[in-house]
Amino acid sequence: MLQQITDDMKQAMRDKNKVKLSVIRMLRAALKDFEIKLGHPLTQEDIMAVVGKAIKQRKDAASQYTDANRSDLAEQELAEIEFLNIYLPEQLSDDEVAQAVQQAISESGATSMRDMGKVMAILRPNIDGRADMGIASSLVKKALQGA
């Protein structure tokens, strides 16, 4: 994955794609910072976590820009998300996330909101990096409140 990011950066330089180059440089810096923080080379899961965090930050920023009527800046953040998405595995559909939530609830034997931690502990390894954990969390809450 790191090699692909480096290759993509070189290609963006050749193509003179300033936006993509900027996003990739930011991503490489975030990866290097995380590697220094951990004190060992990054695993595939570490890389996906950093990419996921960068995407989440851009989604939040785009939402704030939209609320402030700055559609130009929001569009820029959304364009950056598109570049970052290529480094994540294929995302699960809404139905697949809902199915994974139901499976985690049945595996954990959860019956109330007190069991949310158990459900999330089972759910997270199965969908992390392939689905928005915020959405998954809200589905778990909704299912446990209805239980």
Instruction: Tell me the domain boundaries of the chain.
Output: 2-85, 94-146
Looking at CATH, the fold of the domain delimited by 2-85 is given as Hypothetical Protein Yqey; Chain: A; domain1 (1.10.1510)
The confidence score (pLDDT) of residue 49 equals 85
> Does residue 80 contact residue 20 with C-beta atoms inside 8 Å?
no
- pLDDT the model gives residue 147: 52
| Residue bearing tokens 């003179």 | 16
Question: How confident is the model at residue 110, as a pLDDT?
Answer: 83
H helices of 16-132, in order, are 18-38, 44-67, 71-85, 94-108, 116-127
Q: Looking at residue 126, what is its pLDDT?
A: 83
> Measured between alpha carbons, how far is 84 from 58 in angstroms, rounded to an integer?
10
Q: How far apart are CA 11 and CA 72, in angstroms?
A: 26
The Cα angle at residue 74 between residues 70 and 76, in degrees rounded to 5: 120
Contact between 97 and 127 (Cβ < 8 Å)? yes
**71: how many CB neighbours lie within 10 A of its CB?**
12
- pLDDT values of the chain reduced to their tens digit, one per residue, 147 residues: 888 999 999 999 999 999 899 999 999 999 999 999 999 998 888 888 899 889 889 999 999 999 999 999 999 999 999 999 888 878 788 888 889 888 988 888 888 888 888 888 888 888 877 887 888 888 888 888 875
pLDDT (0 to 100) of residue 12: 92
**Structural domain 94-146, CATH architecture:** Orthogonal Bundle (1.10)
Using CA atoms in the order 66, 71, 73, 78, what is the torsion angle rounded to 10 degrees? Answer: 80
